[in-house]
A and B are shown apart, each in its own frame.
Chain A
Amino acid sequence: MIAIQGLETIPEIGRRHDLLAKARLAMDARDFAGARSLCDEADRVASLARTRLAARREREAQ
């Protein structure tokens, strides 16, 4: 995989990946409500990642 400079500074990207993997496992276990709930959490974490990324970009631009 391509190494992304600064990925470690946005841990939410990896966390979202883990949550989606868990959601997939929940779906395979027929726990559909649990799977959707994990997808919702993944969306919240992604939103946090975007906020952090924007703030970082702004700081770096100053």
Chain B
Amino acid sequence: MIHSTDYERLELALERGDDTTALLRAQIDREEALERGAPTDEAIFRPSGMLTRDAFSRALQLETTRCMRTHDPIAVLVVILGDELDAQDELRLALQLRELASNTGDLVGRIENGYAVALPWIDDREIGPIARTFEAIIRAVVPANVDAHIGSVSTVPTTADLDEFVLPAVRPLRMPALTRPRAR
């Protein structure tokens, strides 16, 4: 069976690569400035290296537009926290979430009262295992006394999502039950 070349998606993959490169260059500049003790541009990155709320929102909108063009899904994972993380915990979270998103463009950033990861071209079947990994990361990083709610969604975006992407509904994070020592 002969299939024709999917030019639209190949071009999108190249466009996405352009954004990833631009983001990586900005990150290199930032890391180098930090090492020199020079001031950094905080418009794109938070001190932890995650995208700021504005930068994440712009990146999500761009990806939503791309996915809409080809009617492809985009997955979003969110964690909403009852309290702010301290700098050290946010750094740990950033490192682990960027690892999770590294194959799809490093889209990890701040949202209102929490953090989110956007994964373009991840569908319903694929989101399950990724969401479980996300949950494990949150459980490992977020202190037990901080109230955490998590959620995930994979959707083919519509024009309504361009104005404001509808983030997934969240549910309380389940903490593992404490195991009792066995009676002798």
- Residues of A with Cβ closer than 8 Å to B? 1-2, 4-7, 9-10, 13, 16-17, 20-21, 23-24, 27, 30, 32, 35-36, 39, 42-43, 46, 49-50, 53, 56-57, 60
Contacts and interface: CB of A to CB of B under 8 A. Distances in A.
A60 B4 contact: yes
Interface in B1-49: 3-7, 9-11, 13-14, 17-18, 20-21, 24-25, 27-28, 31-32, 35
A40 B81 CA distance: 39
Which secondary structure dominates chain A's binding surface? helix
B83 interface: no
Contacts of B72: 2
A39 to B, nearest CB: 6
Contacts, number: 80
Given A16-B17, A46-B17, A1 B122 contact: yes
28 contacts: A1-B121, A1-B122, A2-B9, A2-B123, A5-B3, A5-B4, A5-B9, A6-B3, A6-B5, A7-B13, A10-B10, A13-B10, A13-B14, A13-B17, A16-B17, A27-B28, A30-B31, A32-B35, A35-B24, A35-B28, A43-B21, A46-B14, A46-B17, A53-B7, A53-B11, A53-B14, A56-B5, A57-B5
B32 A32 contact: yes
